[in-house]
Amino acid sequence: MTDQQHLERSCRRLLAWYPRAFWRESGPEILAVLLACAPDGQRRPGLAQAADLIRSGVWMRLRPSAPRSARTVRAAVRLMCAGAAVSTVNLIILLAFIVDIKLCHAVLGLRLIAAQVSQVNTPGLGPVVPVLTGLVVPVLTGLAGAAAVCLLWLPASSAFFRSQGYMQARHKAQRAELARIRSSRARRPGQV
């Protein structure tokens, strides 16, 4: 096996980190650039180049929608995350309240029926917790969800989710990645 064949084989292994769709579209061109810029006698990519290719491939796999989405879509995602955070805090408070009540009953040796348990005031949180977990948090979560849905139905969001617009944005991101690889190779022609 020649040095060029060893290098091509090594580069193909590194390019396997990229998503298949990107590899089918741009892989041969990236491979040609890597091979053309390699000095004679090189059998495999250098450590820095290999790390860069792996990092870029993993990044594209983890963030396949790298193109910037519409502002309304990003805002809707933030609202969904805020709703999830509020729900998580609600769950934590509710669990703490339940554990606190059960602990008080265990320490005091009380055997209360459900109606009496709901009337027990634990130190500091008594009337606040039922209002928070029963009224305020569900209203906040519902408002965040409704706002997110409204944002996703706006024309800017709808345009982003149309398959043609989304695919164009994705291809633009892939072309940008290809240009970044070319420019990084052009800046360091002798380095590998």
**pLDDT tens per residue across span 90-148:** 888 777 777 766 655 555 555 655 555 555 544 555 566 666 677 778 888 889 899 99
How many Å is the Cα radius of gyration of the chain?
Answer: 28
Report domain extents, the chain.
3-64+170-187, 71-161
* Percent of the chain surpassing pLDDT 90: 5
The region, left, alpha or beta by phi > 0 then psi within -120 to 50, assigned to residue 53 is: alpha
CA distance linking residue 71 with residue 52, whole number of Å = 30
Say what percent of the chain tops pLDDT 70.
72
Q: Does residue 19 carry a pLDDT above 70?
A: yes
The pLDDT score that the predictor gives to residue 138 is 84
For residue 45, is pLDDT > 80?
yes
**What pLDDT, on a 0 to 100 scale, did the predictor assign at position 66?**
43
Is 39 or 118 the better-scoring residue by pLDDT?
39
pLDDT tens column, 59-98: 888 775 545 667 888 889 899 999 899 888 888 877 777 7
Distance CA(74)–CA(156), nearest Å, equals 11
| Prediction pTM value | 0.42
- Coil, helix or strand at residue 53: helix
Identify whether the C-beta of residue 192 lies closer than 8 Å to the C-beta of residue 39: yes
CA distance 152 to 160: 10
157 or 111: which leads in pLDDT: 157
Query: Are 37 and 4 within 8 A, CB to CB?
Result: no
Give the helix, strand, coil percentages of the chain, each rounded to 5.
75, 0, 25
Report the distance separating Cα 80 and Cα 134, nearest Å: 20
Q: How far apart are CA 158 and CA 72, in angstroms?
A: 10
pLDDT at 28 over 50: yes
The Cα 40–Cα 36 span in angstroms is 10
Kindly list the distances between the CA atom of residue 123 and the CA atoms of 90, 120, 131, in Å, as whole numbers in the listed order.
18, 10, 16
Please check the confidence at residue 171 and state whether its pLDDT lies above 90. Answer: no
